[in-house]
Amino acid sequence: MKHLITATALTLFALASGATLAQSMKPAPSAASAYPVAPAAGLYQAFGEEAGIRSLMDDFVVRLKADPRIGDQFTDTNLNNLAKSLSDQLCQLSGGPCVYKGPDMKTAHADRDTTRAQFNALVEVLQQSMDARGIPFTRQNQMLALLAPMHRDVITVR
């Protein structure tokens, strides 16, 4: 399984370039419009709608904080607030009715000196959470494809 996870993290940037094609499609609404990639049909439902996404994010933030590569970044973080923000964001991005009201990704990650390695680590932790919930691999990649374009705003150390 580990080789699969690593392979997917590496293809994340390849998925991001697929945005060029997707940008000609119907854009996702509102705050997600900074990354106008249309979600795959049924993606929100495949993640168990609002409750499923929230519970996935509750698991994800705990794993994030425990991860030896990036856990230090979240020492002072209110995990409940972060899980709520992430839930709104993923819910909206995947085609759900939620609206993410937090700061844009550039603002949220300014001055954090985030590297590509850290970004890939976060993706791998998210994959661990999605695996733990039995979310099909194809659906995982569809969600990751929506997050991938954010690397431009999150990674500040190149």
The residues that touch ligand HEM, with contacts defined as CB under 6 A, are 70, 73-74, 76-77, 82, 85-86, 89, 102-103, 108-109, 112, 114, 118-119, 122, 147, 150, 154
| Shorter beta-carbon distance to ligand HEM: residue 122 or 135 | 122
| Least distance from ligand HEM to the Cβ atom of residue 65, Å | 10
Q: Are 66 and 79 in contact (CB under 8 A)?
A: no
Distance spanning both ends of the chain, measured CA to CA:
29
| Least distance from ligand HEM to the Cβ atom of residue 72, Å | 9
| Least distance from ligand HEM to the Cβ atom of residue 78, Å | 6
| Shorter beta-carbon distance to ligand HEM: residue 106 or 112 | 112
| Shorter beta-carbon distance to ligand HEM: residue 17 or 77 | 77
Closest to 144 measured CA to CA, from 14, 54, 28, 31:
14
Closest to 144 measured CA to CA, from 4, 13, 6:
13
Q: Are 100 and 31 in contact (CB under 8 A)?
A: yes
| Least distance from ligand HEM to the Cβ atom of residue 55, Å | 17
Q: Are 113 and 5 in contact (CB under 8 A)?
A: no
| Shorter beta-carbon distance to ligand HEM: residue 73 or 129 | 73
| Least distance from ligand HEM to the Cβ atom of residue 25, Å | 20
Bin 48: left if φ > 0, else alpha if -120 < ψ < 50, else beta. left
How far is Cα 149 from Cα 74, in angstroms, rounded to an integer?
22
**Residue number, nearest CB to ligand HEM:** 102
| Shorter beta-carbon distance to ligand HEM: residue 116 or 133 | 116
Radius of gyration of the chain from Cα atoms?
14
